[in-house]
Amino acid sequence: MSQLTIVARILAKAEKRTLVKEELLKLIAPTRAEQGCINYDLLQDNENPNLFIFHENWESRELWQTHMNNDHLKAYMEATDGAVAEFVLHEMTIVG
């Protein structure tokens, strides 16, 4: 198994920023308790408060895939439906 790094970029609609932020914060504790989660850090851009980044490290892609199918992530998707302007996900590997 090789470690997987995830960088997820979430751009909230300006009028929905508070909702998106509250729902993102709800993901942290249950995700950090998941098998294979090394770190799960939420960042908010200093210049654009509508922009959030999750920086995550997982023991393997398989364990991250399990995370992607968990109920708390499904609840987030339902709660923020229509509130996110853009979502970009990068699966990355450390090279140095």
Q: Is the pLDDT of residue 1 over 70?
A: no
Tokens of 13: 């609609």
d(CA 50, CA 5): 23
Residue-wise pLDDT for 43-60, tens only, equals: 999 999 999 999 999 999
Residue-wise pLDDT for 51-94, tens only, equals: 999 999 999 999 999 999 999 999 999 999 999 999 999 999 98
pTM score, whole prediction: 0.94
Enumerate domains of the chain plus CATH numbers: 4-92 (3.30.70.100)
C-beta of residue 64 within 8 angstroms of C-beta of residue 6: yes
